[in-house]
């Protein structure tokens, strides 16, 4: 486990540390879903982060190399440490979603999320900088549209707050999250303050 994630509470992924590996391997992706929503709705909590990668073979090959470095395993409740799996560009692209974990936390690789794929989302994405790591995140409007299309109970609960955040943003903000502190950093700050 990296030094940057050793003080996070259990279940909170160290997103900047995972992203640093993806970036170093040159993986093209956009962060989507609940982790982005947390930047706008403080009460919304997710225990993983969702990545939407570009699906061309070269990018999937770089993603496979990054997953190997991360020590990614298939996430399952039956096996807490996760299941090892072999992967390459071809095998990664054969499914719509991978639910994974590594020592830095839980994450999903989504190839066909509700609301559009990588080529659509990247055109609206914003770069945020968290602990010196640049993270491409989906635009709030795309996150709202995706959650509305998915229409899961957990999405229905947060949609009113996300709709309001979108209205607030469009009436006065510059089109990026009102703060770029990550949920991981908020959790780390809370743990550190509790230790004082």
Quick one: pLDDT at residue 187? 44
Quick one: pLDDT at residue 173? 55
CATH-assigned architecture of domain 15-170: 2-Layer Sandwich (3.30)
Strand partners, 141: none
β-strand pairing of 105-110 with 48-53: parallel
Quick one: pLDDT at residue 186? 43
Quick one: pLDDT at residue 118? 94
Strand partners, 109: 51, 98
DSSP 123-184: TT-EEEEETTEEEEE--HHHHHHHHHHH--HHHHHHHHHHHHHHHHHHHHS-SS-S----HH
Give 69's Cβ-side CA count (13 Å radius). 17
Quick one: pLDDT at residue 22? 98
Give the start-to-end residue ranges of the domains of the chain.
Answer: 15-170
Could you report the average pLDDT of every consecutive run of 10 residues in the chain (196 residues)? Answer: 42 91 98 90 85 97 98 95 96 95 95 84 93 95 90 89 90 53 42 47
Quick one: pLDDT at residue 10? 53
Quick one: pLDDT at residue 123? 92
Quick one: pLDDT at residue 11? 66
């Amino acid at each position: 486990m990296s030094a940057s994630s050793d003080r996070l509470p259990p279940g909170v992924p160290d997103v900047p540390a995972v992203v640093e590996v993806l970036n170093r391997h040159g993986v093209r992706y956009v962060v989507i879903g609940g982790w982005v929503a947390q930047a706008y709705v403080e009460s919304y909590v997710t225990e993983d982060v969702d990545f939407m990668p570009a699906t061309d073979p070269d990018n999937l090959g770089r993603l496979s190399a990054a997953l190997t470095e991360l020590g990614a395993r298939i996430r399952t409740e039956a096996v807490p440490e996760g299941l090892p799996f072999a992967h390459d560009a071809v095998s990664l692209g054969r499914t719509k979603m991978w639910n994974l974990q590594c020592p830095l936390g839980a994450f999903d690789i989504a190839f066909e999320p509700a609301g559009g794929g990588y080529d659509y989302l990247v055109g609206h994405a914003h770069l945020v900088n968290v602990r010196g790591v640049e993270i491409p995140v989906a635009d709030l409007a795309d996150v709202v549209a995706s959650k509305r299309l998915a229409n899961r109970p957990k999405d229905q609960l947060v949609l009113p707050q996300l709709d309001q955040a979108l209205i607030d943003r469009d009436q006065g903000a510059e089109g990026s999250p009102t703060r770029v502190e990550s949920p991981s950093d908020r959790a780390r700050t809370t743990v550190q303050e509790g230790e004082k």
